[in-house]
Amino acid sequence: MAPVIRGTRILHDGWSRFLVAEVTMPDGTRLAREIEDHGRAVAVLPYDPVRGVALLVEQFRPPALYAAGTESLLEVPAGLLDEADPEEGARREAYEEVGVRLGALERITCGWSMPGISTEQMDLFLAPYGADDRSGPGGGLDAEHENITVHEMDLATLSAMSDRGEITDIKTLLLIYALRLRHPDLFAGA
């Protein structure tokens, strides 16, 4: 017998939904487990292979401030998936957050961000761009009060920061490592 969710009760229903699931385990043990539910998400690392740079964002994150006193994080463009197609969601987020129009995307994976507490699965992509593809202002949506600062950073700097443990956002770190593994030529001089 596999574990069975016998029922759920909603604790909060807003931007995210928080619920408690009543689970019966294969041995008959009954457990209550909390679940944060807000759906799928996307993240993309836009990089310019000619100039050897990548676009990242920095913004205030209340949970990071609460947990560690960290006011902002350096991250790849990311957000909740509103579209049926994750690639379109990644393109939308890149344009909203860093003002770049992306063409081809290189899929890395669709993975669980925090499977012990959240239903979120995140589609992760790498995406080459050129200087002419930066056609929007970036900075996020005013209606969402994102207040994003855009950073175009040297790939060698990002590589060194990841090696020193200075990139603390996991999706960003994973995408930097993926870029280094899949396109080592971009880091040959680093």
**Residue-level pLDDT at 145:** 67
- What gap in Å lies between CA 1 and CA 141, rounded to an integer? 47
**Residue-level pLDDT at 86:** 97
* Local structure of 142: helix, strand or coil: helix
Q: Contact 51/156 with Cβ under 8 angstroms?
A: no
Residue 182 sits at φ, ψ, to 5 deg, of -85, -25
Helix pair 170-182, 155-163: axis angle to 10 deg: 120
The closest of 180, 45, 183 to 125, measured between CA atoms, is 45
Strands (E), the chain: 4-13, 17-24, 30-37, 41-48, 53-60, 72-75, 78-80, 106-112, 121-128, 149-154
Q: Residues, the chain, total?
A: 190
**Residue-level pLDDT at 1:** 82
Q: Half-sphere exposure (CA, 13 Å, Cβ side) for 125?
A: 28
Residue 34 sits at φ, ψ, to 5 deg, of -80, 140
Range 31-42 burial, b when 16+ CB lie within 10 A, else e? eeeebeeeebbb
Say which amino acid occupies 135: S
Which tokens belong to 88? 């379109």
**Residue-level pLDDT at 138:** 81
The closest of 83, 96, 5 to 55, measured between CA atoms, is 96
pLDDT by position in tens, the chain (length 190): 899 999 999 999 998 899 999 999 999 999 999 999 988 999 999 999 999 999 999 999 999 999 999 988 999 999 999 999 999 999 999 999 999 999 999 999 999 999 999 999 999 999 999 999 998 888 777 776 678 999 999 999 999 999 999 999 999 999 999 999 999 999 986 5
DSSP 105: -
